[in-house]
Structure 1
């Protein structure tokens, strides 16, 4: 694939790489760099029966679950920190048994992605020992047997062959697609993330296909100046989608802060089925594309979120 073939719009990237029933992982962490614009496009294209992975996804995955696109999810936590202890649509989907779920610790999920990136079937750890995560069954046997990509069991407690100690064996994650949002990338697919990368680089390396949305497409020479700051090489990336404010209403360090007003509105509306449907229609299904979404949010409001490049966030923003 040539570099010109990798650069595409949201609609093309979803149409080309995301299918019904895919196992898909999302980067970002709660209020930070969620690939929201691409998630919106997945919803607009009507993709269904997704099996989702994340360590601590926030707003975007909550909307995706609420849209009815998610069949199952494996994660550590899903919420937007100070705006809600648990994502409102995630909570309702689990309580109503509309979405199957399995829970791990944050470090546990990261290790699962790492095992997938390393090409091994599991990694041992002491994390989660002593917690009730070990006793929770998770997915049913019938569901596991329905899809070869789902691990045969949630985890196993085994004996270390060297010390005899008990350790937790966590199964690898190998999604069909990983989606991350970064600050900058070039047309070859080389990617740089400013601020915390969380586990985005590991998530990308665990997947068969990788879509990167970015705030800015830059010349390759710019990324060659400090190559140690780049988190992904181009040969791992299948699609690069330049999309300004592509993580809104979550933050993107050095570019913009999270949008507290928008998140407060969402968490107020998303608790009720009817008002969530109104939200979905107004901001996702009822807009033609991402540019219309930004106009609906308000350009002045978006500009007020602009971050200081030096400190990474907006020091004057009134927060929760």
Structure 2
């Protein structure tokens, strides 16, 4: 999806149309989650501190995250994808791979149909990449944003990739980009001229994947049953706080949300993790692993409170999150701790 959170906000409030909009909170202590394309013209981007964004673009509209609303719109989009094929691999709330190789229709026609249906249902735009493997489809999806379509065919490889900066290669993050830049590697063409052995020495096993993928080789299949390793939720406060009752209220709501998801997916877990982030962006986590599985909200909340009590609330907190992990499938009824 194109600038998903911000686009949802503009769609829900048409008076924001044409204005620079950033989602993530209104407090100077927050960070941007998503900036729309009008805001990006001023240099605003995700993970940028809001105080910095306000200096770059004082006229921008800063809004808090409304995750429940974004999930609603996401479900509408994914429903459209599943109407086309069951071979859908969600990557995040607003991104997915789909396999249409078995459908007897032109790929571009299917892409245009998806865009038309999504816009009719949600009023939003998305960008689609089409290719013969996941790596190239991902690169193509970023090619003509926003509201773009790009097709990369086998005969275009490797020439079409060579001028791209190394950071455009999916999997090469900021640290890897810096590491490559430090040895004079700035483009995919520079990367292409390195041996596989050198890349393995630099990045470990991932080096072989990089070597293959910039040559158009990626044999990964669509994974429709990705194993869930954890389940959780978090929120960034519009105003930082160290009020314990406020934090407890959020943990109570998180526990209910997590419990509902566990029951819906017929899974339970043993490890509860509390995450907090202070105003200075320092992160602290506390975890507890139980001997028995849980999925009831009251039990999740009880553990969350015990973890909160272990944290010294001597300074303001800007983010709180709760996660359950060590998951397994269950058909059994959980007994409460009292039972």
TM-score bracket relative to the smaller structure: under 0.3
Alignment TM-score, normalising by the size of structure 1: 0.25
More helix by share: 2
Alignment TM-score, normalising by the size of structure 2: 0.24
Q: Which has the higher contact order (CA 8 A, sep 6+)?
A: 1
